[in-house]
């Protein structure tokens, strides 16, 4: 069956796109591998009407809502390839088989590339965090650390000082320049140059950082802004232009969330910075409505 749209990735962005296509009484196939970026966190914060909800439960509810529409097909699993064909696009599935549609939405998200510090990855989303707006309040007033991973860590440390007493852990990299040090000083941020050997604390929580010289630094939450990578090479395979973002590659889109390839839309973390679930959902809405209107007003050239 030829669908009007295929959405690759069924989370905040993809399901928000799909529901608008379905509500326009068009057929849409959602392919989802089931690993949203925030799956490591027990609670998602700041989403309209859902502050503190469990991320997996939020997505499951949205999936059920979308699946209720009669023109929706849901496929659990990964899309492994996509290519342009005569009347649209063909997507190959990991489980075998292919689906075709007139339009595509790419919403397959990104993965965080965490630094290799013992004890860090198992605390990701619990006490090791990327975004103070998402999880800073819950640690507010505590002892905050920022782990240097890039020059923008200085900016992150200056910001996070609003949530608690903050130390920038340089983890063995050179001291920031004079202007950056002055800015950190104005914000009351301490600087710790020593490499970090390990993170310590109970199940998911953090109590201290063990430094290479044997000292420990009491810390309640550690923030970092890691590099990231797109979860799938499908955007590149289709010929979509990518840009260099501050954390990794981003799929280039216009205000309608159309990529540089006619008929291919992209939404959510793969196509923007900064990232959060609300922005991803909003981009999905834009992509879904733009896609529907393109079906009406802009048939693709044969």
Ligand X SMILES: Cc1cc2nc3c(=O)[nH]c(=O)nc-3n(C[C@H](O)[C@H](O)[C@H](O)COP(=O)(O)OP(=O)(O)OC[C@H]3O[C@@H](n4cnc5c(N)ncnc54)[C@H](O)[C@@H]3O)c2cc1C
Chain residues in the site for ligand X (CB under 6 A): 8-14, 31-38, 40-41, 44-47, 78-79, 107-109, 112, 124-125, 130, 134-135, 231-232, 268-269, 275-278, 280
Instruction: Give the integer Cα–Cα distance in Å for 190 and 141.
Output: 16
Instruction: Give the integer Cα–Cα distance in Å for 21 and 194.
Output: 53
Give the residue with the Cβ less far from ligand X, 176 or 284: 284
* Residue 61 beta carbon to ligand X: minimum distance, rounded to whole angstroms: 14
Give the SS3 label for residue 289: helix
* Residue 284 beta carbon to ligand X: minimum distance, rounded to whole angstroms: 7
Give the residue with the Cβ less far from ligand X, 54 or 293: 54
* Residue 192 beta carbon to ligand X: minimum distance, rounded to whole angstroms: 24
* Residue 260 beta carbon to ligand X: minimum distance, rounded to whole angstroms: 19
* Residue 16 beta carbon to ligand X: minimum distance, rounded to whole angstroms: 8
* Nearest residue to 28 via CA among 10, 2, 11, 5: 5
φ, ψ for residue 56, nearest 5 deg: -65, -35
Give the residue with the Cβ less far from ligand X, 15 or 24: 15
DSSP-assigned beta bridge partners for residue 194:
none
DSSP 51: T
Give the residue with the Cβ less far from ligand X, 10 or 288: 10
Neighbours of 67 (CB within 10 A): 15
Give the residue with the Cβ less far from ligand X, 27 or 127: 127
Three-state SS sequence of 86-123: CCEEEEEECCCCEEEEEEEEECCCEEEECCCCCCCHHH
Contact of 254 with 247, CB cutoff 8 Å: no
* Residue 187 beta carbon to ligand X: minimum distance, rounded to whole angstroms: 24
Residue of minimal Cβ distance to ligand X: 268
Tell me the helix, strand and coil percentages in the chain, rounded to 5: 30, 30, 40
Give the residue with the Cβ less far from ligand X, 47 or 169: 47
Give the residue with the Cβ less far from ligand X, 22 or 33: 33
Instruction: Give the integer Cα–Cα distance in Å for 15 and 52.
Output: 20
* Residue 269 beta carbon to ligand X: minimum distance, rounded to whole angstroms: 4
* Residue 302 beta carbon to ligand X: minimum distance, rounded to whole angstroms: 28
Q: Which residues contact 252 (CB under 8 A, 6 or more apart)?
A: 240, 241, 242, 243, 259, 260, 271
DSSP 53: B
Q: Which residues contact 233 (CB under 8 A, 6 or more apart)?
A: none
Give the residue with the Cβ less far from ligand X, 48 or 297: 48
């Amino acid at each position: 069956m030829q669908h009007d749209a295929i959405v690759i990735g069924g989370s905040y962005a993809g399901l928000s796109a799909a529901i608008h296509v379905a509500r326009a009484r068009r057929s849409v196939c959602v392919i989802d591998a089931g690993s949203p970026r925030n799956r490591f966190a027990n609670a998602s914060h700041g989403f309209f009407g859902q502050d503190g909800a469990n991320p997996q439960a939020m997505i499951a509810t949205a999936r059920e809502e979308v699946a209720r529409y009669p023109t929706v097909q849901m496929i659990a699993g990964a899309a492994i390839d996509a290519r342009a064909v005569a009347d649209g696009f063909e997507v190959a599935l990991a489980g075998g088989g292919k689906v075709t549609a007139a339009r595509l939405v790419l919403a397959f998200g990104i993965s965080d590339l965490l630094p290799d510090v013992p004890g860090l990855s198992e605390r990701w989303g619990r006490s090791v965090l990327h975004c103070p707006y998402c999880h800073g309040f819950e640690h507010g007033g505590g002892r905050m650390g920022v782990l240097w991973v890039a020059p923008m860590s200085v900016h992150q440390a200056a910001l996070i000082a609003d949530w608690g007493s903050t130390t920038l852990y340089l983890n063995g990299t050179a001291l920031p320049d004079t202007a950056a040090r002055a800015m950190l000083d104005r914000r009351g941020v301490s600087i710790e140059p020593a490499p970090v050997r390990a993170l310590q604390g109970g199940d998911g929580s953090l109590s201290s950082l063990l430094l290479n010289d044997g000292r420990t630094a009491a810390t309640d939450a550690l923030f970092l802004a890691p590099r990231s990578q797109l979860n799938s090479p499908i955007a590149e395979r289709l010929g979509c232009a990518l840009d260099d973002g501050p954390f990794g590659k981003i799929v280039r889109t216009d205000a309608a969330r159309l990529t540089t390839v006619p008929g291919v839309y992209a939404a959510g973390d793969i196509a923007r910075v900064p990232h959060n679930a609300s922005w991803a959902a909003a981009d999905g809405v834009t992509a879904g409505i733009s896609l529907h209107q393109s079906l009406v007003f802009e048939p693709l050239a044969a």
